[in-house]
Amino acid sequence: MEIEELRSFLTVVQEESISKAAVLLHLTQPTLSTRIRRLEEKLGFPLLERSWDGVVLTHEGHYFLPYAIKLLQDMQNAQKVITSYKDYGFEQWLKETNDDKLYITIGINPWLAPVFSDAIIKILSHEFPHQKYQLITRTTNSLKCLLRYGRIDVAIYYENEEEITPHEEYLLEDEMILLCSQEIYSFLQGDLTRLRYLSKPFLLFDNPGLANNRDTYRQLLKTLQIEQLQLVDDLSVMLSYITSNIGFTVLPNAATLELQNIYSTSIKCVPIGEMIQPLRLKIAYEESIISVNVVERMTEQLTSRLINTF
């Protein structure tokens, strides 16, 4: 997928016309049409429907549009920061964090960060007091890619169906938790199979959650016989929906631990139990002396510290 293909797609959508977009892009119409068609072939689905009245987005195009915009925005934002990083005064920080001998970078799945961040900081401070480190949060698939490219040294994530990294070890299992309003909780009467009779939607986390956990979501929707769905892409919005009794969802236990204290009176957290297979937590790493030593200590310490949490 090329940047110019995305820009061409966005321009066509904005102008609602291939001819008008071609003028703005200083391209011929056949050239622009070829770009769009090539992008559709790479994606594997149609983006636009063409007619004498112009072009309109397909259903797939509607879904893809926000991600195309975000992709270009992310690249432009990165370009602005990189080309002016001296203005922000972190030139030295960039040099240090890119030095494998000075810094170790640990990536954590966002769902796990609330539980693992404090534990990791305490372990590193006690076991490796002179080691400089950086914690970042990314989705599981992004963490695996960053490991393969050597951008991070250690990653902690949920196991999924994507390619397994070379050096990966099992940590813990994290059970799934139903989050619902008091009204829904009362309706269930302790029987989760009654979820199928609800006239309220299951709140499904959109990409990247959906893309990173396809097998888990498929099992969940099938087991609970979910028919109504509503996509959400923000945890705060999801919680507002739940407290307003608009819908319900299922999240990993690690993602709900802080919420259980904050929303203890308005959101009920119910363990799913054996209905849904627990998610397996993995720790993966680059095979360097620093990484191996850190992982050995972290694996032992994290397991003992968090075993009761999960």
pLDDT in tens, 211-264: 677 788 888 888 888 889 999 988 889 999 999 999 999 999 988 888 777 777
Give the Cα separation of 250 and 259 in Å (integer).
13
Query: Residue 63's pLDDT band (boundaries 50, 70, 90)?
Result: very high
**Reduced to 3 states, what is the DSSP secondary structure of residue 84?**
coil
Predicted local confidence at residue 52, as pLDDT: 75
For residue 221, what are its two tokens?
Answer: 């929707």
For residue 194, what are its two tokens?
Answer: 């009654």
Q: What average pLDDT does the segment 28-45 reach?
A: 94
Backbone torsions φ then ψ of 79, nearest 5 degrees: -60, -45
Residues with Cβ within 8 Å of 58's Cβ and at least 6 positions away in sequence, in order, are 45, 46, 47, 48, 49
Residue 111 to residues 220, 238, 248, 289: CA-CA distances in angstroms?
A: 18, 14, 18, 28
Q: Is the pLDDT of residue 80 over 90?
A: no
CATH architecture of 93-173+279-306: 3-Layer(aba) Sandwich (3.40)
- Higher pLDDT pick, 217 / 61: 61
Give the Cα separation of 180 and 250 in Å (integer).
9
Give the Cα separation of 224 and 212 in Å (integer).
20
Query: Residue 293's pLDDT band (boundaries 50, 70, 90)?
Result: confident
Q: Is there a common fold for 3-83 and 93-173+279-306?
A: no
Q: Is the pLDDT of residue 208 over 80?
A: no
CATH of 3-83 among 3.40.50.1980, 1.10.10.10, 1.10.8.50, 3.30.420.40: 1.10.10.10
Structural domain spans, the chain: 3-83, 93-173+279-306, 176-275
pLDDT > 90 fraction of the chain, expressed in percent and rounded: 46
**pTM for the predicted model, two decimal places:** 0.83
Asked if residue 93 lies in contact with residue 102, where contact means CB atoms within 8 angstroms, the answer is no
| 176-275: CATH superfamily | Periplasmic binding protein-like II (3.40.190.10)
Alpha-carbon torsion angle 155, 161, 162, 166, nearest 10: 60
Residue range 99-154, pLDDT digits in tens: 666 778 999 999 999 889 999 999 999 988 888 889 999 999 999 999 988 889 99
Q: Is the pLDDT of residue 308 over 80?
A: no
Query: Residue 292's pLDDT band (boundaries 50, 70, 90)?
Result: confident
Q: Mean pLDDT, the chain, as a whole number? A: 87
